[in-house]
Chain A
Amino acid sequence: MSGVEKRFGGVVALGGVDLELRSGEVHALLGENGAGKSTLMKVLSGAITPDGGECRLRGEPYAPAGPVEALESGVAMIYQELNLAPELSVGQNILLGREPRGAFGWIDSAEAEKKVSKALSALGGGELSADSLVRDLGPGQRQLVEIARALVEEAQVIVLDEPTSSLSAEDTEQLFEVVRTLTKRGVAVIYISHFLEEVREIGERFTVLRDGVTVGSGVVSETSMEELVTLMAGRSLDEFYPHVPHEAGEVLLELDELSGEKLPRRASLSLRRGEILGIAGLVGAGRTELMRALFALDPIRSGEVRIGGELASAKNPKERLEQGVGLLSEDRKGEGLALDLDLATNATLSHMSPFSPGGWIKPAARAAAVTHWIERLGIRCTGPSQRTGDLSGGNQQKVALARLLHHDVDVLLLDEPTRGVDVAAKVEVYRVIGELAAAGKAVLIVSSYLPELFGICDRLCVMHRGVLGPAKAVSEWTETEVMNEATRGVKGGAA
């Protein structure tokens, strides 16, 4: 691919991308959210048509009209959100839409079986059975089913989009095995990932995108981690994590052996005003469950929550909000925001009383309140009445954040606050978090992106299988120590 361009209206999504892929290699495609990776992949899969530049496949001009045509040319996409029918078997899923037809439109089962077993063996054997239901498979095996689907069509180029974001370490290792098997057969793999460690393990060459342009490419083993980060971010880490001076005050939030239905297990911590405490850990360690139990979204089985030194129980989020605790959900689309409603409703839903005497809303007063936060957070929108779902991910997240600011909560529980947010918006979110701490708020952050926790937190603790380790000042941790504790846990308990 060379000089590929794509514009959406006035927005340039791709402004000249070059990418060279050789057969039998794993090519890492790097870039922050919003760098243009997804758009580039849509061009490759034929979902959108580029406005400029050209793509060639084995020397031939390549311009698929849609995903089906792309697949027929040998280019297959494996998306983050898997597209499988859970109630069908592995074999049925692999052939879905491409079932070999026999007489009268009946499925030619002998031929089907042959195709499925060929695809499964191309994965390198493994324990995947054609008859098991996809419903019963874990996320790692589901991913393999997706890859097998691509192999039925003899795909020569397979694109893996953030394949390990929901996989355990074992599943990741198994996936890597499969990827290596495939490349030995000459299949080229484009590997999109945020995790540089993974890229170092599996990738041979890399291309970095930033703001829709190729800013660098090379051989992974000849490039240092720092060089990659600088290429991706386009700035050094100091600018990336703006430092807002803040000072820890009195203890505001205390958890004493808090246990949920399954997770967390007896989690204890204390958080001061003007302090940012980060919780690291693997996906599924129970960090989100801790936040939800704390916010009374999920039941608490045992343990106590104290706010400002006083025992604070709550039956539902409404009571927690009244106690001055607010949660930013990790699932922005599913839970955090009502995407079909306007920005004003989303930003004020938890706290409408200031402009609704007797239950009747004063639209002008509400719009004024929302406009204040739009300006303060730099939300790019047409105004308070714009539909929230029409905003970009970063701006949506700012709306969700605006709700907590508007509510003026004292304790902010931020679950993955920068997930799906572009670089520029990330920096702004970090700045707001810093300012909140400076204003005497207590901030608890869960994040799977370690550099971010190191960049903005004062103290850090790690959760492993529902057990929360002790919190230490960020300066006392190294990334390796955090990863060790996240994967193996630590003896002891209280933070």
Chain B
Amino acid sequence: MNSKRLMSLLGPFIGLLFVVVLFGALEPSFLSTRNLMTVAIQTVIVGLGAIGMTFVIVSGGIDLSIGSVIALSSVVTALAAHAGFSPPVAVMAGVTAGGLCGALNGWLVTRLSIVPFIVTLGMMGVARGVAKWLSAEQTVTPSPEASDALALLASKTATSPGIWITILLAVLMALVLKRTVFGVHTYALGSNEDTARLCGVPVERTKVWIYTLCGVFGGLGGVMTFARLSVGDPTTAIGKELDVIAAVVIGGASLAGGKGSILGSMLGALLMAALANGCNLTGVPNFVQEILIGSIIVAAVAVDRVRSSRR
């Protein structure tokens, strides 16, 4: 299992290495500290979302609402800051908004037994709508003092809190997924829900927690989005859910559930950010970049298929 796990991380790792070496050779400034920090900061939002999404996908579910939740949370954070609350309170407000969306997702999935795809597709619209409603369909711009404090989170220095918080949370959640009863239950749900039920796993409760967790990480992503933009934008992060899902899938997770790891998802998120950044630096047009990322997603899954069929 351990060697197999290493194998499944090898794909995204080689992909990342390839991208870094390629762009490093084409454009030396790609490897400058400043640019690498930019890549890291660009990874943060998708990376945070991917941590939560990994839990959802490993459990056999999906969360399409995370892009909208990021937008909602950025608006809520901005509104709280605008209303004069201290930065920590504004952060809490944003994270709580995300957590509530996730909890509602989990509740609907378990109580009404509607498939996660549909529930979170609905939430995708609802959260986006609420974000526009709360912001009166405009960007929310708090006072500079309020937004400057939070903008520190997204600074492009080696001590950038945003980057370190993401790394810390990734390590913590990787341990939670591998080493806690909750994590094992998550894998069990995705691998075979009937077995989980047979073994007395609290299926419904575990699912609610998983979706709540994903919402919380969407909320954190929203806070980081606000920190970068200094405004709460209800139209931000459109389509971000697909980037997040792509990162998790490139990282070796299976949409059928039961497979995936936080480290893999982080590699996937880094791979996409590095590719986007490298393309911009070297003047590769946007459409080429989109074609490349699309191909990588399919290739990542294809490689995984071939490997598991040879078992």
Q: Is the CB of B179 within 8 A of A318?
A: no
Confirm or deny: A68 has a beta carbon within 8 angstroms of a beta carbon on chain B. no
Contacts of B192 in A (CB 8 A): 334-335, 337-340
Q: Does B20 contact A (CB under 8 A)?
A: no
Q: A319 — nearest CB in chain B belongs to which residue?
A: B200
Q: Which of the 9-residue segments B181-189, B221-229, B279-287 touches chain A? A: B181-189
| Contact status A341-B191, CB under 8 Å | yes
Minimum CB–CB distance for B252 against chain A, Å = 13
Chain A residues whose CB sits within 8 angstroms of the CB of B187 once the complex forms: 338, 341, 345
Q: Which A122-180 residues sit within 8 Å CB-CB of chain B?
A: none
B258 engages A334 (CB within 8 Å):
no
Q: Once the chains are docked, how many angstroms separate the CA of A334 from the CA of B191?
A: 10
User: Is A317 touching B179 in the complex (CB atoms < 8 A)?
Assistant: no
A263 at the interface (CB under 8 A from B): no
Binds B, one of A195-203, A357-365, A465-473: A357-365
Q: Which one of A49-57, A275-283, A385-393 is at the interface?
A: A385-393
Q: Is A89 an interface residue (CB 8 A)?
A: no
Residues of B within 8 A of A403 (CB): 199
Q: Mark A347-362, 1 if CB is under 8 A from B, else 0.
A: 0011010001001110
Instruction: State which residues 283-340 of A face B: CB under 8 Å.
Output: 297, 316-318, 320-322, 327, 329, 334-340
Chain A residues, CB < 8 A from B184: 345, 349, 352, 361
Nearest residue, chain A, Cβ from B200? A318
B72 within 8 A of A: no
B202 on interface, CB distance cutoff 8 Å: yes
A338–B196 contact, CB under 8 A? yes
Q: Does A342 contact B (CB under 8 A)?
A: yes
Q: How distant is B180 from chain A, measured CB to nearest CB, in Å? A: 5
Docked-complex contact A356 and B181, CB < 8 angstroms:
yes
Bound-state CA distance A356–B258 (Å) is 21
Return B10 CB to nearest CB of chain A, in Å. Answer: 18
Question: Is B33 in the interface zone, CB < 8 Å from A?
Answer: no
Taken together as a complex, chains A and B put the C-alpha atoms of A316 and B197 apart, in Å, by 8
Cβ of B259 within 8 Å of any chain A Cβ, yes or no, is yes
In the complex, are the beta carbons of B311 and A321 less than 8 A apart? no
Which listed residue (A322, A329, A336, A345) contacts B188, Cβ 8 A?
A: A345
Instruction: Tally chain A residues at the interface, Cβ within 8 Å.
Output: 33
> Which of B1, B187, B192, B195 has the largest number of chain A CB atoms within 10 A?
B195
Beta-carbon contact of A340 and B200 below 8 Å? no
Q: Is the CB of B195 within 8 A of A317?
A: no
The distance from the CB of A293 to the nearest CB of chain B, in whole angstroms, is: 14
Q: Which residues of B contact A346 (CB under 8 A)?
A: 195
A362 and chain B: residue at smallest CB distance: B179
A361 contacts B179, C-beta separation under 8 Å: yes
B198 located at the interface, meaning its Cβ lies under 8 Å from any Cβ of chain A in the complex: yes
In the complex, how many residues of chain B place their beta carbon closer than 8 angstroms to a beta carbon of chain A?
Answer: 24
Is B2 an interface residue, CB under 8 A from the partner?
yes
The residues of B that contact A390 with a CB separation of less than 8 Å are 311
> Please, how many angstroms separate the alpha-carbon atoms of A178 and B188 in the complex?
45
Given A341-B191, A342-B1, A356-B181: A349 and B196 interface contact (C-beta under 8 Å): yes
Q: Does B263 contact A (CB under 8 A)?
A: no
> B201 interface residue, CB < 8 Å from A?
yes
Contact, CB under 8 Å: B202 / A341: no
A349 pairs with B180, CB closer than 8 A? no
Q: How far is the CA of A360 from the CA of B182 in the complex (A)?
A: 9
| Most central of A334, A350, A363, A403 by chain B CB within 10 Å | A350
**B198 and A297 within 8 A (CB):** yes
Chain B residue nearest to A390 (CB atoms) is B311
Chain B residue contacts of A341, Cβ below 8 A: 187-188, 191, 258
Q: How far is the CB of A284 from chain B (nearest CB, A)?
A: 20
Partner of A297, one of B182, B188, B191, B197: B197
Is B1 a contact partner of A340 (Cβ separation < 8 A)?
no
User: When the two chains form their complex, are residues B188 and A318 in contact, meaning their CB atoms are under 8 A apart?
Assistant: no
- Which B residues are in CB contact (< 8 Å) with A385? 1-2
Contact with A386, one of B1, B197, B201 (Cβ below 8 angstroms)? B1
- The answer to whether B259 and A340 touch across the interface, beta carbons within 8 angstroms, is yes
- Shortest Cβ distance from B245 into chain A, in angstroms? 20
Query: Is B194 in the interface zone, CB < 8 Å from A?
Result: yes
CB distance from B145 to the nearest CB of A (A): 41
> Would you call the interface of chain A mostly helix, strand, loop, or mixed?
mixed
- The B1-36 residues at the A interface (CB cut-off 8 A) are 1-2, 4
User: Contacting B191 at CB < 8 Å: which of A316, A327, A329, A339?
Assistant: A339
Question: Is A337 a contact of B195 with CB atoms below 8 Å?
Answer: yes
Give A19 to B2 CA distance when docked, in angstroms: 44
The answer to whether B179 touches A335, judged by C-beta atoms less than 8 angstroms apart, is: no
* Alpha-carbon distance between A12 and B155 when the two chains are bound, in angstroms: 64
Instruction: Report the Cα distance A153→B187, complex, angstroms.
Output: 46
Residue of B nearest to A384 (CB): B1
User: Of A327, A345, A356, which one neighbours B198 at CB under 8 angstroms?
Assistant: A327
Instruction: List residues 245-259 of chain B with CB under 8 A from any CB of chain A.
Output: 258-259
Say whether B2 contacts A359, CB under 8 Å: no
Q: Within 8 Å CB of A349, what residues of B? A: 184, 188, 195-196, 199, 201
B181→A359 contact, CB < 8 A:
yes
For A331, the closest partner residue in chain B by CB is B194
Please state if B191 and A317 are interface contacts (CB–CB under 8 Å). no
Chain A residues near B2 (CB, 8 Å)?
385
Give complex CA distance A352, B197 in Å: 15
How far apart sit A361 and B176, CA to CA, in the bound complex (Å)? 10
Whole-angstrom CA separation of A452 from B180 in the bound complex: 41
Question: Which residues from B are CB-within-8-Å of A334?
Answer: 192, 194
Nearest-neighbour CB distance to chain A for B176, whole angstroms, equals 9
Contact B258 A340, beta carbon cutoff 8 Å: yes
Q: Determine the chain B residues whose CB is within 8 A of the CB of A338 once the complex forms.
A: 187-188, 191-192, 195-196, 258
Q: Which residues from chain A contact B191 at a C-beta distance below 8 Å?
A: 338-341
Q: How near does chain A come to B113, taking the closest CB pair, in angstroms?
A: 15
Taking the closest CB of chain A, its distance from the CB of B270, in whole angstroms, is 26
| Closest partner residue, chain A, to B1 (CB atom) | A385
A317: nearest residue on chain B (CB-CB)?
B200
Q: In whole angstroms, what is the CA distance A387 to B194 when docked?
A: 18
Q: Are A321 and B200 in contact (CB under 8 A)?
A: yes
Expressed in whole angstroms, the minimum distance between the Cβ of A372 and any Cβ of chain B is 19
Q: Report chain A residues within 8 Å CB of B200.
A: 316-318, 320-322, 350
A57 to chain B, nearest CB (A): 31
A359 touches B180 (CB 8 A): yes
B256 to chain A, nearest CB (A): 9
Q: Choose one: B1, B4, B179; the contact of A360 (CB below 8 Å).
A: B179
- Additional A-B contact list (15), CB under 8 Å, known A338-B188, A363-B179: A316-B200, A317-B197, A318-B200, A335-B198, A336-B195, A336-B198, A341-B187, A345-B187, A349-B188, A356-B181, A359-B181, A359-B182, A361-B184, A385-B2, A386-B1
What would 12 A/B residue contacts be, using CB atoms closer than 8 Å? Answer: A318-B200, A318-B202, A335-B194, A335-B195, A337-B195, A339-B191, A341-B187, A342-B1, A345-B184, A349-B195, A359-B180, A385-B1
